[in-house]
Each structure stands twice: as structure tokens, then as C-alpha cells.
């Protein structure tokens, strides 16, 4: 006869993480596995089922079952949160749509955390000006593009190929991936502070309205949007020049064209929406880097 305590240990040893996800019909099967494995265990030992130990109450097994069920439930939730993100990204790639995970309150309070979105066309000079602002205003610079490229190159990333394809095409990477990368980076930065306070320049984000809504709902409210306005022909020249040394897969004529199209059709509506709310600080970016910075400083002084 197998003692309940032994049985509990055996079940935990036998159930693999994959088994806890779904059965062939895609339904959660952890508990059914437990039940069927329990049956197998008893069958193997020639038992029909657990018999109460003489002198002990048969109800003693319930605490163990409760622990197994509670443990299985938490484990399933943990694994599910990771697989949901991957599934959402895959679904989005094929359908262009994504179901946003639910989260109603922002992780970071705007009392403690200042977020400034930095937008502008590809090559408008966002990264260049962010470097100046970091130097002078104690901001942390988080570039959505840099975070995506780092994730793309991270060994073992489940999103590597997906990100690569989107970037080469100048397309918007599914927001679940981008928003999560930003939140992780913010969490890491803030964990190193004593008071949990911080200032972030979030560069190249939000590039689509759904990202803006999702980020402000679930991560942090933005203080304002710094928008670098630059004509396409100027940006194109800068990007082609940068492409001579950047090693980027999207700094070439074909990808640049697609990036401009994405910017006009998808990202400009974000700027327009924030503009209607009076949250856009617009800076003319078709000047020398020094002049662009001088205008930037002048325009943001009263706002940060």
C-alpha cells in the first residue's frame, strides 16, 4: 500500500512542466494527470485505491490533495502567463490583431515616476537628443528599438525571429512584447534606487495608439510627448549615412521606405492624439544637433 505522503511526492516527481499545460484538446490537464497517475500508481501496486490506515481517519488525505491542487493551480497560472505572451505575439503576426492582457492600474505611480515619450520619424534625431537630456537632466533613456534589438539577440529568446522579421519590414512589433520589455527595464532601473523614484525618456514609443493606451493603463502615465519634427528627405539622408556603419538590418533604402510609411500611417496618429490633449512639445529637428538641443531645452524647461 502506498502511504498518502509517498503518493504526493511521487506525483510531483512524475508530472513534467509540459504535462501541466494542456492535453491534446488544448485543455488544462494537470488535475486529470494527477488523477490518472494516481490510478496508475495504485494499479501498479495492485491496490484499488487508498485504504485508510487502521486507527487513522480516512479524511487525513484531504490536506494533501488540497496542497496538490493549490500547487498545481499556481504553477499553471505561472506557466500560462508566459505562454500567453508568446501565443499573443504569434497570433498577432498572423492576424495583425492582439488581445491585450488585462491590468487595470499602472505599475508605477506618476508621483514617483516621470515618463516622457520621445517620438519622431526614423532618423529624426531622437537618440541623439536623448543622450543630451540624460547628461543634463538625470533621465534614464529607454529606446524601444534598442530593447527589441537586445531581445532579438538574446540567446534563447522566444521572440528573436519574430522581432527580426518586424524590424526588417519596418513594422510595429506586437505591443505585448514591447510594453513588457519597457516595464522590465523600468523595474530594473527603479529597483536600484532607494526611494523608487525615477525619470524616463521612452524613445520610439508609443508607435501605435494601442501601445499608448496599454502603457498608460498598465505601466505608467506619461507626462508629455517630445516630438521631433523632420522632413523625410532629411531623415532619409541621415539614415543612409548611419547605415554605412550601424550594421542595422533596417538602415537601407528599402526598409527606410517601409519605416516612413509605418510612421505616417501608424505613429503620426499617436502624436496627433496627444497633441489634441495639449501634451505634445514639438521641436524642429531639421537643424544642427546643437540647435535642436537648444530648442529642446527651452521648450521642456517649464515641464519637468
**Contact positions toward ligand ADP, by CB under 6 A?**
120, 122-128, 238, 242, 288-289, 292
User: Smallest gap, in angstroms, from Cβ of residue 176 to ligand ADP?
Assistant: 23
The DSSP-derived string for 240-303 is HHHHHHH--TT-SHHHHHHHHHHIIIIIHHHHHHHHHTT-EEEEE-SS-HHHHHHHHHHHHGGG
Q: Is 171 annotated as a binding residue?
A: yes
Query: Counting contacts by CB under 6 A, is residue 207 touching ligand AMP?
Result: yes
- Is-contact 205 120, C-beta < 8 A? no
Here's the x/- map for ligand AMP, 231-270, by CB under 6 A: it reads as -------------------x--------x-----------
List C-alpha distances in Å: 51 to 17, 114, 147, 227: 30, 62, 57, 73
Here the contacts of 294-303 (C-beta below 8 Å, separation 24 or greater) are 296/129, 296/132, 296/133, 296/226, 297/136, 300/116, 300/226, 303/223, 303/224
Q: How far apart are CA 193 and CA 64, in angstroms?
A: 42
Q: Is 231 annotated as a binding residue?
A: no
Q: Is 128 annotated as a binding residue?
A: yes
Query: Counting contacts by CB under 6 A, is residue 148 touching ligand AMP?
Result: yes
Q: Is 39 annotated as a binding residue?
A: no
Q: Is 127 annotated as a binding residue?
A: yes
Stretch 161-180 residues interacting with ligand AMP (CB under 6 A): 166-167, 170-173, 178
Q: How many residues bind ligand AMP (CB under 6 A)?
A: 18
Residue 37's binding partner out of ligand AMP, ligand ADP, none, with CB under 5 to 8 Å set by partner kind? none
Residue list for the binding site for a ribonucleoside 5'-phosphate: 149, 171-173, 204-207, 211, 248, 259
Amino acid at each position: 500500500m502506498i502511504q498518502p505522503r509517498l503518493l504526493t511526492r511521487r506525483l510531483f516527481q512524475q508530472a513534467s512542466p509540459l504535462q501541466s499545460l494542456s492535453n491534446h484538446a488544448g485543455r488544462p490537464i494537470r488535475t486529470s494527470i494527477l488523477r490518472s497517475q494516481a490510478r496508475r500508481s495504485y494499479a501498479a501496486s495492485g491496490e484499488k485505491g487508498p485504504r485508510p490506515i487502521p486507527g487513522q481517519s480516512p479524511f487525513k488525505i484531504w490536506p494533501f490533495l488540497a496542497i496538490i491542487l493549490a500547487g498545481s493551480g499556481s504553477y499553471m497560472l505561472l506557466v500560462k502567463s508566459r505562454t500567453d505572451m508568446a501565443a499573443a505575439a504569434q497570433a498577432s503576426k498572423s492576424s495583425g490583431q492582439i488581445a491585450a492582457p488585462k491590468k487595470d492600474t499602472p505599475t508605477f505611480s506618476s508621483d514617483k515616476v516621470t515618463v516622457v515619450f520621445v517620438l519622431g520619424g526614423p532618423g529624426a534625431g531622437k537618440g541623439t537628443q536623448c543622450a543630451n537630456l540624460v547628461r543634463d537632466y538625470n533621465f534614464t533613456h529607454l529606446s524601444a528599438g534598442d530593447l527589441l534589438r537586445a531581445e532579438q539577440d538574446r540567446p534563447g529568446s522566444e521572440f528573436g525571429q519574430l522581432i527580426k522579421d518586424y524590424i526588417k519590414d519596418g513594422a510595429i512589433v506586437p505591443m505585448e512584447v514591447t510594453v513588457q520589455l519597457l516595464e522590465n527595464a523600468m523595474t530594473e532601473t527603479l529597483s536600484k534606487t532607494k526611494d523608487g523614484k525615477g525619470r524616463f525618456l521612452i524613445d520610439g514609443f508609443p508607435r501605435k495608439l494601442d501601445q499608448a493606451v496599454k502603457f498608460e493603463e498598465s505601466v505608467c502615465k506619461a507626462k508629455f510627448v517630445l516630438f521631433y519634427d523632420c522632413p523625410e528627405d532629411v531623415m532619409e539622408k541621415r539614415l543612409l549615412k548611419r547605415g554605412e556603419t550601424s550594421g542595422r538590418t533596417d538602415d537601407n533604402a528599402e526598409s527606410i521606405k517601409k519605416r516612413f510609411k509605418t510612421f505616417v500611417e501608424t505613429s503620426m496618429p499617436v502624436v496627433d492624439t496627444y497633441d489634441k490633449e495639449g501634451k505634445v512639445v514639438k521641436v524642429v529637428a531639421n537643424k544642427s544637433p546643437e540647435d535642436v538641443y537648444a530648442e529642446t531645452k527651452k521648450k521642456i524647461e517649464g515641464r519637468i
